[in-house]
Each structure stands twice: as C-alpha cells, then as structure tokens.
Amino acid sequence: MSSARKRLRDHGIRIGYLPTGKSNSISDVAGLTVGHCSVIHGEQLDSLGTDQTGSISVARTGVTIIVPHQGDLWNERPSAGFFMLNGSGVVFGSDWINEAGALEGPIALTNSHSVGDVASALIRVMVEQHPQVGGVEDSYLPVVAECDDSPLNDINAFHVKDEHVRQALHGASHIVSEGAVGAGTGMTCYGFKGGIGTASRVVTVNGTDYVLGVLVNTNHGQLHQLIVNGIPVGRVLAHEQKIAKNKEGSIVIVLATDAPMNQRQLERLARRACLGLAKTGAIAAHGSGDFAIAISVGRKVPRYSSEAEISLPEMHHDSLALFFEASVEATEEAILNSIFLADTVIGRGGHMAPALPVEHCIDIMKSFKPVDSADQLTTNPHN
C-alpha cells in the first residue's frame, strides 16, 4: 500500500451512522489478529509488464490469516455461522461450520488453486500444537476461502507454500494492512485493484458496548457497477475510461464480534453483510463466489465437557437489529477501503489492475447530479 493512498474516512467519506471501533478494523475485536504473506515473483518486467526472459512464473498472490483469539482455538471454539450468496467458488471447511456451529482454528484466505496447499499447511500446524489431533481426537478441518487472482497471477504455479502460511500466522497482529497485500495481492475489484479491506462498528445494547469487525478480500464487480456512498461513480468512470471487463471473480467477507451470538444469529449476521456488498454495486454475478463467515469470540463452545448440558451466553434476538446495521455499514466500508488503498499492480502477460483514481472519484461525488437515464452517462456496458 502506498503511503499516498488513504482510507475512505481520511477523505472525509463516512459510511452509515454507527461509531467505529478504535482502529476501524476487524482487530478492534479484542484478541483477534490478522497476518499476511504476499508472494511476488517475476518482477523483472519491461515497461509493459511482460516477463523479459519468458522463464519466470509470475506470482501476484499470497495468503491472509485471521486468528480469532489468542487462546486454544482447538478446545475453545468461537461460535460460527456461514452464508453463501452465490456459489461459484469454495470455502473449504464451511460444511463443518454449518453442522457444528463452531470454528476450531484460524480462517485463511488465498487464491483458488492454493486452497489445498493452505489447508494442508494449517493441518500440519494444528497437529504440531496438538499431536493428538487426527489420532486420539477428531481430525481437523481448516477453513480456507478462495478468490481467483489468475488475471494477475500464474495460478497454476501453486506459489503459496507451507512457509507462507506459517509466515502469515507468525506475523499476525492487531495492525491490519489493507489493499494489495496477502491474499489480496492479485485481486481486482470493479475493474480496479482490489484486495484486503477492513472496518468496524461499535454497538451499544443496554449500556454495554460490543464490537463488530469486518475483513474482506475483494475480487468482484464491473466498473459501471461501482457505487461509493450512494453515488454511482462507476457509471461516470465507465463513460470516461476504457477499462477491460473484469473477470467475474469473488468476494470473501469475514465478520467477527465479541457479542455472544449463536450459530443461527451469526448466519443472520452474515446474510446482512451481503446487503453492504450490494450497496457498493455488486450483483452476485453468475461466475462470482460471494461468501460470508461470521464468528463470535464472546460465545466459545468447549470441545469437551464433564456435564451433559452446558450453558452458553447469547444475545436476545430483540437486540440484533443494531448488529445487522453494523454488518451492512462495516462491510460496505471495508470493501471501499480495499480499493481506495490498493495501488496499481501489473501481473502476468502485462495484465494490469489500475489503482482507483481516488481524487477524481471524490470530485465526481461532489459534483454528481442524478440523471434521468443511464444512457446520459454511458453506453450499454454489456455490449
């Protein structure tokens, strides 16, 4: 991320009404950390971004790890819920979330063809920490979510290795980098460079403050669809700029809260995140994978209990409305942060994902006046 590029709020653009957490990040949820490892090879490129030797496999990819809390994730499992808006993609391990309503390890994000390698690496790490896993105890099904970064990255070279997963894990911290980093290194969003974005909201219920944080990996949408804080900026940009149609990609949305929520409540929270996605212009295209994972570190499910019955805290359903609003707001802002912060990336074959022209985007927002017909702004984007 370039030091010249700033988050949405640093430009005076405020999404929604609820207050943000201290860092406006998913790491505002106490104990949660995020680690990235970017994998970038084949940097000896000419002015067009073409590999001069023809022998270098270009890598513009990586892995991002969300560690829910700093305790024993295997035995102190955050409650979890999952929602799929459109299924052109995969979240490895989501079946067990749906079945058990709990998460028993980190959440990993990477490219489509590296899901297996990242899952294997996470299993090895878990077995090193808990040698009884897969033997005396249950086997471990890690959660790994993917987006397709193949326009920029040589996805068939399987660049993400065990060592990169371990680097992301060991480097996980409360400071969350955004833009073209980690799993977001090779992602494209609304025709511009996308990647990792994050935001948070504080929800107050009966005098108690709770935090809801969101982290996204954005790789979806066409230029004409982009909406920034209610303004159809993309329609204007599509009229002015000749940007190639974006490959139908995906988005992964991870929500975390310290509010005690059960599986059903978290599923409902994950559904509302997709409303925030829609507010940025997304339509869940046929070839797009749109997934949301929600976890509660305020309601941990123990793996074992000496009692046949256990009692776990959970929010009353009547208290959920503000959390739904927070989910929509934070998701919308996290997505926009991902493109506001990402620099231009040139990848394999000279393919380029340009940075969003932020200042021009802001000028459009300031001067925008509604028009009667989309034809006044752009020709049919589907032709």
Q: How far, in Å, CA of 66 to CA of 142, rounded? A: 12
Nearest alpha-carbon partner for 211 in 173, 178, 256, 275: 256
Whole-number Å distance between alpha carbons of 150 and 347: 9
Q: Which residue has the tokens 């829910």?
A: 68
Catalytic residues: 250, 288, 290
Amino acid at 158: F
Residue with tokens 């230029």: 223
Closest CA to 35 of 164, 165, 172, 160: 172
Burial class (CB in 10 A: 0-12, 13-18, 19+), 360: middle
Beta bridge partners of 34: 66, 173
Task: Write out the H or E segment, with its range, that includes residue 123.
Answer: helix 115-129
Amino acid in the structure at residue 96: W
CA distance 75 to 303: 5
Q: How many helices (H) and strands (E) does the chain have?
A: 7, 14
The pair phi, psi for residue 377, each rounded to 5°, is: -110, -35
Residues 23, 111, 270: CA angle, nearest 5 degrees: 50
